[in-house]
Amino acid sequence: MSDLPKTAEDAYLQYSSYVAAVAYRLIGRDAEIDDVVQEVFLRAVKGLHRLHDERAMKGWLATVTVRVVKRKMWKRGIARKLGFGTPPPDDGHSIAPGASPEQRALLGQVYKVMDRLPATQRLAWTLRYVQGEKLDDVAQQCGCSLATAKRHIKSAHEFIQKEVANG
């Protein structure tokens, strides 16, 4: 058993960069990451005392992050349908800052395509192919069955491939 943080502040200091990395991979833009990290830790404070293993801590924080991002995507989708908002502009610099211009352009294209996916498909696909999570972990973090996670990933993958090929 590894050392777990004793306080919410210790948890934030130890895991905020991990949560930010997961959120960044899911959202694809810097503008909302700080808000997501803060919200994750506000929610996490309530359950911190129930964890006993560092591996469980990372998985649990990833699950909370997915839920926060999913809610944000849902709200963004509703606002867009009602004509109240658009995704924040992205000049391409916040996507993989160390990447070449060609890589940033491709990633920017992929994230634009992903913005058109249902949140459940986008989250499952990103957790699997960008975050590198195992299928069981994707299902757990998305709060669905393994079969449903596989369907979401497959649907998203097919849509992204088709759109990028036609792009």
List alpha helices for 28-116, DSSP H.
Answer: 33-44, 54-81, 101-114
pLDDT in tens, 1-18: 456 777 778 888 989 999
The per-residue pLDDT for range 112-134, each reduced to its tens digit, is: 888 888 888 988 998 888 888 89
- pLDDT tens by residue, 34-80: 999 999 998 888 777 777 776 778 888 888 898 898 888 776 665 55
- Closest listed residue to residue 58, CA positions, set 94, 16, 101: 16
Domains defined along the chain, listed by start: 8-166 (1.20.140)
